Structure 1
Amino acid sequence: MKSWVYASVLSAVASLPLAIPAAAAEPVRGGVIDVATIGEPPTLDPMASTADLVGIVSQHIFETLYTFGADWTVVPLLAESLPEISEDGRVYTIKLRTGVTFHDGSAMDSADVLASLNRWETVASRGKQAAENIDKIEAVDATTIRISLKEPYAPLLSLLAFNNAAAIILPEEAQAAPMDKVIGTGPYMLKERKPDQYIQLVRFDGYQSREEAENGYGGARHQYLDEIRFVPVPDANTRVEGAVAGQFAYVDSIPVESFGRLAGGKTEPVVLKPFGWPVFVMNTKEGVLSDVNLRRAVQTALNPEDMLIAGFGSTDFYAVDGSLYPEGYAWHTEAGVEAYGQGDPEKAAEAVAAAGYDAAKPLRILTSRQYEFHYKMAVVAAEYLKLAGFAVQLDVVDWATLTQRRQDPKLWDIYISHSPFLPEPSLIGMMSDTAPGWWQSEAKTKALAAFNTEADPAKRAELFAAVQQVFYDEVPGIKVGNFNAVSAKVPALQGFTPAPWPYFWNASLAK
């Protein structure tokens, strides 16, 4: 056995790292912050959801064996260190930290981890994805877990580190699904949840922080704040006005057209550039778009630039780009992008007719106004698709309802979402056969198998071109482009590190 630094994500992201706060005076301990979110999370169980909103809240309560550092490499969290990996890449031996306590006062050991990983394999879409490659998981002793793989699987640590469909560690006795007890090891614990009003988290006095320096989502997690309240504010304009008035310490997801409104207000803008990509996810399992020819017709019809203009207004906030990762990322490739950005509904109409589309079956687009840019892009897309001969039905619901409905293939044909640029491509939802959209094919399986069984980062980057090519050939989704995200915070909120999933350990309130 030998200790490996997990290399597959080491060079995955060449963009700007998460910021590391400059050294300053000892932060003030105490205080309460209100954080405005885009709505009510559908659950607090991050295994059961891939919604970013769930991950933002729940990452304060629950922890995983690993997480991501400031340079997006995998770093240990509840694990003592990076795993020992066998020479053939099939056996991961993970030592656990000792002295870690759950919110109910019980001590974490390998029995809890084993039960949690077994739950993850059955409850979480990313756990199911990993389970296809896992032979068995064993508790070697009270502080050691061993994961044996059927074949080498490079994304494993990234899947264990991610904060949605997350491999959180729960007490062995609290493994019910659906979750009935909110008990984690995180720096904050749930005190009260009043649906549509707030989720109140308070400091967990028994928390055992890592001793390393702060490092992105990893390293020390200081609990300077007494309390964090996540307040659902579904209306975008209400979030903006709350930010201008300084009603909240932090406001997530500010519409970019309101950027100028923050000037002169009581908060300051926080911009992540580039943040990620809006995506139209296709229902490949049943319904209108189970026919790949009609999915290709949708791709041909849509004009990404028009959708991006509608969603973001200015090129200060978007870029027209069909590659799944922008230039500067190790995963960047131009494979397949000639199919991107055609904006040709007349050509698409010919394909729609040739495929024998039945206009009595509307193409149902599921979207939400809580992310206003989702809705605006949907409106533009609907017009292009009508020109292509589709009967279009726009279903506008709240975000929590969308995340529930997308689980049922009978209820939609396209749903609109977005994702940050993730450090490991296999974290992208559509790469899982069981994620909503249910994209499965021999070509996908073959391309992903070659990509995921290769350990060398440079070779993996080359192999990702084949994955992106299959994405464009089979159209399980449509990347609209790149976008920058805007949020806002009060100047008094110090030690806050801008991040795709904002976190508030290590943050404090100045006097």
Structure 2
Amino acid sequence: MKTLVAFLLGTALVALPSTLFAQEKGGVINVATIGEPPTLDPMSSTADLVGIVTQHIFETLYTFDKSWNVTPLLAESLPEVSDDGKTYTIKLRTGIKFHDNSDMTSEDVVASLNRWMKIASRGKQVAGFIDKITAADPATVTITLKQPYAPLTSLLAFNNSAAIIIPAEKQDEPMKEFIGTGPYMLKERKADQYIQLVRFDGYKSPEGDSNGYGGARHQYLDEIRFVPVPDPNTRVEAAISGQYDYVDSIPVESYDKLKDSTASQPVMLKPFGYPVFVFNTKEGVAGNVEVRKAIRQALSMEDMLAAAFGSKDFYALDGAIYPKSFSWSTDAGVEGAYNVADPEGAAAAAKKAGYNGEPIRILTSRQYEFHYKMAQVAAEYLKLAGFTVDMQVVDWATLTQRRTDPKLWDIYITHSPFLPEPALIGSLSTSSPGWWDTPARKAAVDAFTSEVDPKKRVALWADVQKAVYADAPFMKIGDFNAVSAKSVKLEGVDPAPWPYFWNASIKK
């Protein structure tokens, strides 16, 4: 499956990898994250934080190279696809060991993919298209589809709600033992203190040069420690002082301060992705599509972006889900529905829709400070439109838990990198929090995912975006650039939306 992405994430995965230079082996790095991950089972969560940590422990059959093409990881090669597009034959790499030193076989892959389809939101997205998954021999897996499904390999490659491969006999729900095939294995987790990963000596790296998330995965480091640092200002000061080797998610207004630091340097992804307000379409006041549209009508996306990111160096006003640098970019459905900033008109629309003063429960977190700033601006516009606003500010782990219960919220605020395959967008799945499930969604999304011709898929994606604007399951706020920081002593870490630390080393 070839992706249609015409650009690379900023200069992210384009630069020559630092691993071209000689690197030292040994040492420990400390990585400051935005908080404590809600789980270490990447199948059961779509939180980016979970993927960032667990991609070092667990691996998938495929991953993405620096050009966002699907590339083999635990698979030996890309799948052989039958002429009718319904049968995928996947050859596995041999000699792969799990962290308990057992050998990976097709039996483990079949069991893992079945678990993925049962508990992962993206696995559930695929499940309806799959007839059966079988082990043809110890090193071959066959996936038989009911109909062609173009995004399959991209979904198998994604590290978010990930189709990780774990031992067939360790498929507990919830996961009890964190046994993967990755270059690092879990040694210790102390809640709210650190997650300690150590080198797995039995690791078998893919061959070839390092290439984005694909290719060789070197184990230069002895140990990686992920440390939760929920307060964004604390993360900034820690980066400036060099307290951590890598600091994730720095408020963009700290970019200049970081440039002046002698201990760390800023890392910017441009453009990174988009903030998004997700509606609960299943229950509560936001279950009414006309109320959702009235809320959208009230809001100034421009003011929210300005409050969140300050300088236009860090954001762009854009209602299209993909920016112009993507072949997926389309204006379908956007006109008249984005950045309307009309509280008075929204008040009339809400009244006509039957809104009667019920609280709009907005779920957000200060661990991503830009989420909170956008929520503050949105609340003021909604109040001007006559809405009652109940702002619920919680830590990120709590937010990811609460959003799974449709009784607890009406809007939650999150963000997403621009993904190489639109079908990876979580909100398109009926099982993702928000639970968008209408005839318009089904018609547009099913047509898009069942088409394999790349040119036809671009046109069909425009229909999906039209349906998003017509049903308002979520609101894109705009485009933004992401800033992190890394120590001047840290080598081999190339900018990426989910930073990874195989290939990283410490300059001696």
Q: TM-score, with normalisation over the residues of structure 1?
A: 0.97
Query: Aligned partners of 1:23, 1:232: CA distance in 2, in Å?
Result: 27
Shift of 1:62: 0.1
Distance 1:223 1:127, change over 3 A: same
SS at match of 2:42: coil
SS at match of 2:44: coil
Kindly provide the CA deviation profile for residues 266-294 of structure 1, in whole angstroms up to 9, marking residues without a partner as x: 10000000000000000000001000000
**Runs of 4+ residues deviating >3 angstroms:** 10-17, 22-25
Distance 1:12 1:452, change over 3 A: farther
1:221 equivalent in structure 2: 217
2:344 equivalent in structure 1: 346
2:205 equivalent in structure 1: 209
Which residue of the other structure, out of 446, 454, 471, is the alignment partner of 1:474?
471
1:168 aligns with 2:164: yes
Query: Aligned partners of 1:496, 1:158: CA distance in 2, in Å?
Result: 24
Kindly provide the CA deviation profile for residues 406-431 of structure 1, in whole angstroms up to 9, marking residues without a partner as x: 00000000000000000000100111
Kindly provide the CA deviation profile for residues 189-239 of structure 1, in whole angstroms up to 9, marking residues without a partner as x: 000000000000000000000111101001000000110000000000000
Query: Aligned partners of 2:5, 2:476: CA distance in 1, in Å?
Result: 23
Q: How many residues align?
A: 504
SS at match of 1:485: strand
1:63 aligns with 2:59: yes
Shift of 1:355: 1.2
1:18 aligns with 2:13: yes
Distance 1:121 1:13, change over 3 A: farther
SS at match of 1:375: helix
Query: Aligned partners of 1:387, 1:239: CA distance in 2, in Å?
Result: 35
Which ranges of structure 2 fall in alignment gaps of 5 or more residues? none
2:486 equivalent in structure 1: 489
Shift of 1:166: 0.2
1:255 aligns with 2:251: yes
Which residue of the other structure, out of 103, 127, 132, is the alignment partner of 1:131?
127
1:183 aligns with 2:179: yes
1:95 equivalent in structure 2: 91
Shift of 1:322: 0.2
1:3 equivalent in structure 2: none
1:425 aligned partner, one-letter code: P
SS at match of 1:112: helix
Identity %: 67
8 A contact 1:78–1:97 mirrored in 2: yes
Shift of 1:457: 1.2
Which residue of the other structure, out of 430, 433, 440, is the alignment partner of 1:443?
440
2:339 aligned partner, one-letter code: G
Distance 1:264 1:11, change over 3 A: closer
8 A contact 1:11–1:457 mirrored in 2: no
2:354 equivalent in structure 1: 356
1:158 equivalent in structure 2: 154
Shift of 1:263: 2.8
* Structure 1, 307-316 or 350-359: larger mean CA deviation: 350-359
> What pairs with 1:30-429 in structure 2 (closer than 5 Å)?
30-265=26-261, 266-338=263-335, 339-359=337-357, 361-429=358-426
8 A contact 2:427–2:436 mirrored in 1: yes
Which residue of the other structure, out of 457, 481, 484, is the alignment partner of 1:460?
457
Shift of 1:463: 1.0
Shift of 1:495: 1.2
Which ranges of structure 1 fall in alignment gaps of 5 or more residues? 1-5
SS at match of 2:373: helix
SS at match of 2:443: helix
8 A contact 1:12–1:424 mirrored in 2: no
Shift of 1:25: 3.6
Query: Aligned partners of 1:376, 1:305: CA distance in 2, in Å?
Result: 13
2:25 equivalent in structure 1: 29
8 A contact 1:235–1:370 mirrored in 2: yes
Query: Aligned partners of 2:136, 2:4: CA distance in 1, in Å?
Result: 29
Query: Aligned partners of 1:11, 1:47: CA distance in 2, in Å?
Result: 25
Q: TM-score, with normalisation over the residues of structure 2?
A: 0.98
